Structure 1
Amino acid sequence: MSKVKTALGRVGGSLGRHKKALIAAVLILAVAVAGLWYFRMRRPALPAEAQGGSYVRTVTLQKGNLDDSISASGTVESSDVSNVTTDLKYTVKTVNVQVGDMVEAGDVICILDTESLEKSIEKAKEALADSMAQAEKTYQKAQESLAEAQTKTSEAKTDMDEAQSAKDDAWSAYDSACSKVSSFQTEADDAAARQENALSALNDAMAVTAQKQTAYNDAYGAWKTESDRQLAADYEPAEGDAEKLAGLQTAMNNAQAQLDAANEAQTKAQESYDQTSLQAQEKQKALSDAQSTVGLTGLQTAYQQAQAAYEQAQTAYDQAVKNQETAQETCDDALESYNKSGESDELADLQEQLEQCTLTAETSGKVTAVNATVGSMIEGAAATIQNTESLKVAITIPEYDIESVKVGMTARITSDVTDKEVNGTLSQISPTATGGGSSSSSFAAEVTVDDADSGLLIGTNAKVEIILSTTEDVFTVPLDAIGENEAGESVIYVQTGEENGEPVFEEMAVTVGEENDYYAQISGAELEEGLVVRASANADEATEELDMGTMMPGEMSGMAPAEEGGMQGSVVIAAPADGGGGGRGGMAGGPAMGG
């Protein structure tokens, strides 16, 4: 009973991790039962004595690899897919490929009808030619204006240089004349300075005289007033009047003396001024005579006129330079416009469209879809090209297995379209899950096909087994084949012979090593290849009743009846030695199974 619980526990654990695998197994079993029922209904009836018997399921022990793996299913896709597309709204003129064709990058897929586009290009070229001609005329005119401005600038420069030379000559003559009369000029200037000083001294003396005159008038007024008072008829002498009048007389006399001195000083200042004025006039006349002798006034006038002429010539030159700069800018703009007149965004766009009207393959591969029809515009992709030599399998990995896998793991790929097992590599795992909620979520992943000639076809279903770990060159048996004896040892049951037509099994102690969901590694001193091991440690579970009525004629070959004349005993059926062992989603590598 404990062995049954152990087996059920193993199955339960497997079911917990592999609900999808269980569902697939149930579906396969249902199909098998239905097929068996169909054949049973269709088969010829067998004799009654041949409609009974039983057999024991066994496995033949052999060394192999024990893989721990995760299984998934998906769709074969190309790793290199390109679509031939266009945004142009022109109808298709020719289609050069069909589905199944092999193309190289750059091969023409289809060509659009460009008749109306080519007419538009011709019109755009004509408009461009007119624009270029007009721009050329404008540029030529600007060049002529620039040449004329350059000539005027050159002429103005010549005029200015000549005016500069004339001014320099006039200055030289004037400066020479000035040098000749410089001594007369110095004497005239000195005489004028002395005259100025004398005038200043005269003005000062006159100011002093006026001041002294005022002081005398005040003193005389005071004396006269006191004198008239004392001379009046009603005067009554008083003590001190005589002294007062005498004091006023003295003050008046002193003021008169100061006034006389000031008048004398003023007279001398006047005489000095008159003398210096005469000298200044004489020196000025001498200067004038000298200047007249050398023609200084005429030379000065000539220089001033030359200076004015130079300034006028310089102004004319500056204006000519500005006019030339303006003409140069106009010419540069005209040249730029002329150069740009050969460019047309419209024409460039139309020519680019013309090039794009020939749709080519961007990558090499097989044409898997064509959506281009002559006479119709292309909607979506004109063609799809897939590299059939570079394949991958798109799968999903359940959330409970995602922690066990990583990019770079080895994978085995099988498909109904090929009999061979194809090598692959887990190349991509999505970082985010899909699904969830009431159901388990999963992660999208990709397995790259490593074999060059895999035989896989794009769009077909494939099964993928991702190898988590591998234990090599070991004996493996089904988990159910391992039991436990009373001593607590792990044992298997090896066929040692037959008795009364039925196989005889004896237990053999083993050591259990690595295991996966279906198989376990065993080791022991007595183990050797070729031993026949009961598929289940429980003899009842390993024995299957064989209803011959459900078998088709010819299906009885390979069965050894327990008793001659009927199927009353056990029958041992040897399974093909194609390997056992397996992973979480299936079996790969291991012992051959009988029954």
Structure 2
Amino acid sequence: MMKLQMIGRSDPQGQSSLEKTKEIARFTTRRGRGRKAVLLLAVLVAAGGIFWRVRASGESVPQVNVTELSRGELVRQISLTGRLESEESARVYSNQSEAVQAVLVRVGDRVEEGEILAQLDGQELERDLGLQRAAFAKSAREAELNLEASREEYDNMLRDLESGSYTELVKANQNLNRAMKKYTEARSDFEDHRDELDHADEEYDYLDRKMTRTKIEMDRAQDAYDAAVREGDSEKAEAARQVLSEKEAAYNEARDNWEKAYDDKSEVYNPITITYRDARLSYLEAMEDQKLAERDAQRTLDSLKRKVELGELGQDLSSQQAELERLQRSLADCTVKAPVSGVVTAVYAKEGMPGNGLLFVIEDTDRLRVRTEVKEYDVASLQVGMGSIVKSDALGDQSFEGRVSRIAPASVKDANGETKTENSASYETEISLVGAPQGLRIGMKVRLNVVLERREGVFSVPYEAVTTGPDGKSVIYLLQQEGKTSDSGDPSHLVARAVEVETGMETDFLIEVRSPQLQEGDQVASDPTGLLDGMAVTIADQMVG
């Protein structure tokens, strides 16, 4: 960077350029750049910044540092570090406790998907599998035979019921028919003797009433006789005795007639009524038996149907099938195969040791990516697909092309799943390398730059070179030669000219400027603090003699 010395001139009123500079500085402002300004300030302090020197004549002379304009590439990027890992990797686990019989690969071997990596001892599993297969086949056959028998028994009974040939119902119906026939005959016989039975009933009822009446008269005669005896009247007692004797004789005759009528009635009535009653009871019992037979038949049919259904369920050997499949899977898992194609990068399996846990790690060494973290103030500018240049200290200046392939939607979490708050948030980001990078290895630490924006053939100046004029527009100061001074004898006369510019892309230290007045080779004041349009300047550290 060149340094210019500013030449001060006095105006007609005797006001020096320094005083004018101080006055105009109150109406101009610099562009603040935060952390970038701090870095540039250190550069300016080291370079001497803008300072004033005093000429031999006593006039103060401001000096500035300058930047020469040239068109070039302007790149805005972020610098990161990360670790290389495979785009596709697989950890090969086993949950089998059987011992490892043989390990067939070593670290560095390239394997294809499905290739055998190790073999576990599966003899005991083979034996268990054989027993399970035999038990499964036996259970399946038994279930099939039971179902066939149940279906046959059910179908036979259903067919017998529909055709009316079911044995128990046939017997019940036959008994009912016989009882109905006897009942019908007994009832007919009973009706045929109805008049005779009615006469016997009437005669029996008449004699029964007469016997009752004579019994009452005899009891009254007995009471009268007893009263006469108590009174001691012998004549009256004798007369009462004779009446009592008559009444007893009448009662005895009435009772004998009643008994004879009862016997006569029984001789006629009992055989008919008993036969009729017994036939009727037998018929009612036969009807009840027939209903019970129908109900029992339906219950038996329902029971056979449930037996068929249970037989069908018995054919569901899912639990035994599941155990058989589990043993088959376990036996198949004794042959450990590569789930993906790649290079074996770790072998944990050891012969003779149990085969459970992590056995192998397989990774694709041709497709690599960088896993890194991007701070929150940069992640907003980052997009999937952006290019990146990746370097490793192990390979010197050799660089590799990459592209942003994933940006985490949330910041990095702590062990409890909570967002980390002790520092600014970071977002896990992945950069996939293009092609098959030679020399890079999984696990290497790398440096990378992600290009956020790129401009070709543009002018750029330090941030501090751009200031704001009184009208609020961005300006820079070009240093131009405008002839010799007559009184100083200096070989040249440099003047600072304010040029309005449009700003564009920004990087950490530079900013793009555009104006039709800018040309290649123009010299721009790096820090225009205190400069005025038309002010004479000189490059810093070049004193006027």
- Pairwise TM-score range, normalised by the shorter structure: 0.5 to 0.7
1:82 to 83, 90, 110: 90
Q: Name the SS for the 1:203 alignment partner.
A: helix
- Partner of 2:407 in structure 1? 427
**Residues of 2 paired with 1:501 and 1:103: CA distance?**
79
Amino acid at match of 1:416: K
- Partner of 1:172 in structure 2? 181
Contact kept in structure 1, 2:153 and 2:304, CA below 8 Å: no
Contact kept in structure 1, 2:372 and 2:430, CA below 8 Å: yes
Q: 1:11-50 CA deviation, whole Å, 9 max, x = no partner? A: 7556599xxxx9xx9xxxxxxxxxxxxxxxxxxxxxxxxx
Is the counterpart of residue 536 in structure 1 residue 526 in structure 2? Answer: yes
**Segment drifting more, 352-361 vs 389-398:** 389-398
**Residues of 2 paired with 1:438 and 1:524: CA distance?**
45
- Partner of 2:476 in structure 1? 491
1:509 to 499, 502, 506: 499
Contact kept in structure 2, 1:481 and 1:493, CA below 8 Å: no
Contact kept in structure 2, 1:109 and 1:361, CA below 8 Å: yes
**Residues of 2 paired with 1:305 and 1:263: CA distance?**
52
**Segment drifting more, 279-288 vs 493-502:** 493-502
**Residues of 2 paired with 1:356 and 1:471: CA distance?**
57
**1:74-113 to 2 correspondence within 5 Å?**
74-88=82-96, 89-96=98-105, 99=108, 101=110, 103-104=112-113, 107-113=114-120
Change (3 A) 1:533 1:194: farther
- Partner of 1:362 in structure 2? 339
- Partner of 1:416 in structure 2? 391
Q: Name the SS for the 1:526 alignment partner.
A: coil
**Residues of 2 paired with 1:503 and 1:421: CA distance?**
50
- Partner of 1:405 in structure 2? 380
Q: Name the SS for the 1:446 alignment partner.
A: strand
1:84 Cα deviation after fit: 1.4
Q: Name the SS for the 1:527 alignment partner.
A: coil
Contact kept in structure 2, 1:135 and 1:341, CA below 8 Å: no
Is the counterpart of residue 449 in structure 1 residue 457 in structure 2? Answer: no
**Residues of 2 paired with 1:98 and 1:305: CA distance?**
98
Q: Name the SS for the 1:459 alignment partner.
A: coil
Contact kept in structure 1, 2:374 and 2:429, CA below 8 Å: no
- Partner of 2:463 in structure 1? 479
Contact kept in structure 2, 1:66 and 1:476, CA below 8 Å: no
Change (3 A) 1:537 1:263: farther
Amino acid at match of 1:176: E
- Partner of 2:123 in structure 1? 118
1:519 Cα deviation after fit: 1.6
1:430 Cα deviation after fit: 3.6
Q: Percent identity?
A: 17
Change (3 A) 1:173 1:275: same
**1:133-148 to 2 correspondence within 5 Å?**
none
Amino acid at match of 1:395: T
**Residues of 1 paired with 2:282 and 2:430: CA distance?**
102
1:91 Cα deviation after fit: 1.7
- Partner of 2:518 in structure 1? 527
Q: 1:166-195 CA deviation, whole Å, 9 max, x = no partner? A: 552354145224303423146425633663
Q: Name the SS for the 2:508 alignment partner.
A: coil
**Residues of 2 paired with 1:534 and 1:478: CA distance?**
10
Change (3 A) 1:148 1:420: closer
Contact kept in structure 1, 2:71 and 2:457, CA below 8 Å: no
1:544 Cα deviation after fit: 10
Q: 1:363-386 CA deviation, whole Å, 9 max, x = no partner? A: 445544444466666575333233
**Residues of 2 paired with 1:263 and 1:468: CA distance?**
152
Q: Name the SS for the 2:461 alignment partner.
A: strand
Q: Name the SS for the 2:193 alignment partner.
A: helix
**Residues of 1 paired with 2:172 and 2:246: CA distance?**
62
**Residues of 2 paired with 1:9 and 1:342: CA distance?**
76
1:83 Cα deviation after fit: 1.0
**Residues of 2 paired with 1:187 and 1:152: CA distance?**
52
**Residues of 2 paired with 1:303 and 1:508: CA distance?**
138
Q: 1:341-378 CA deviation, whole Å, 9 max, x = no partner? A: 99477765443222112223334455444444666665
**TM-score scaled by structure 1?**
0.54
Q: 1:290-317 CA deviation, whole Å, 9 max, x = no partner? A: x5xxxx9889989989999999999999
**Residues of 1 paired with 2:135 and 2:314: CA distance?**
13
**Residues of 2 paired with 1:268 and 1:472: CA distance?**
159
Contact kept in structure 2, 1:146 and 1:331, CA below 8 Å: yes
1:112 Cα deviation after fit: 0.7
Larger Rg: 1
**1:545-564 to 2 correspondence within 5 Å?**
none
Contact kept in structure 1, 2:143 and 2:311, CA below 8 Å: yes
**Residues of 2 paired with 1:302 and 1:486: CA distance?**
136
Contact kept in structure 1, 2:69 and 2:459, CA below 8 Å: no
1:109 Cα deviation after fit: 4.3
**Residues of 2 paired with 1:453 and 1:503: CA distance?**
60
Contact kept in structure 1, 2:390 and 2:447, CA below 8 Å: yes
Change (3 A) 1:412 1:163: closer
Q: Name the SS for the 2:408 alignment partner.
A: strand
**Residues of 2 paired with 1:458 and 1:502: CA distance?**
62
Contact kept in structure 2, 1:412 and 1:422, CA below 8 Å: yes
**Residues of 2 paired with 1:421 and 1:61: CA distance?**
28
Q: Name the SS for the 2:426 alignment partner.
A: strand
Change (3 A) 1:330 1:158: closer
Change (3 A) 1:366 1:301: same
**Residues of 2 paired with 1:318 and 1:361: CA distance?**
67
Contact kept in structure 1, 2:221 and 2:247, CA below 8 Å: no
Q: Name the SS for the 1:355 alignment partner.
A: helix
Change (3 A) 1:207 1:152: same
Change (3 A) 1:180 1:507: same
**Residues of 2 paired with 1:16 and 1:196: CA distance?**
145
**Residues of 2 paired with 1:424 and 1:352: CA distance?**
41
1:518 Cα deviation after fit: 1.3
**Residues of 2 paired with 1:367 and 1:452: CA distance?**
20
Change (3 A) 1:516 1:141: closer
Contact kept in structure 2, 1:413 and 1:421, CA below 8 Å: yes
Contact kept in structure 2, 1:494 and 1:531, CA below 8 Å: no
Q: Name the SS for the 1:359 alignment partner.
A: strand
Contact kept in structure 2, 1:95 and 1:372, CA below 8 Å: no
Contact kept in structure 2, 1:92 and 1:377, CA below 8 Å: no
Q: 1:29-73 CA deviation, whole Å, 9 max, x = no partner? A: xxxxxxxxxxxxxxxxxxxxxxxxxxx984543276674x65432
Contact kept in structure 1, 2:478 and 2:496, CA below 8 Å: yes
- Partner of 1:565 in structure 2? none
Change (3 A) 1:209 1:447: same
**Residues of 2 paired with 1:300 and 1:387: CA distance?**
103
Contact kept in structure 2, 1:65 and 1:474, CA below 8 Å: yes
**Residues of 2 paired with 1:134 and 1:16: CA distance?**
84
Contact kept in structure 2, 1:75 and 1:394, CA below 8 Å: yes
Amino acid at match of 1:386: E
Q: How many residues align?
A: 465
Change (3 A) 1:501 1:428: farther
Contact kept in structure 2, 1:482 and 1:490, CA below 8 Å: yes
Q: Name the SS for the 1:122 alignment partner.
A: helix
Amino acid at match of 1:75: R
Contact kept in structure 2, 1:392 and 1:449, CA below 8 Å: yes
**Residues of 2 paired with 1:14 and 1:434: CA distance?**
34
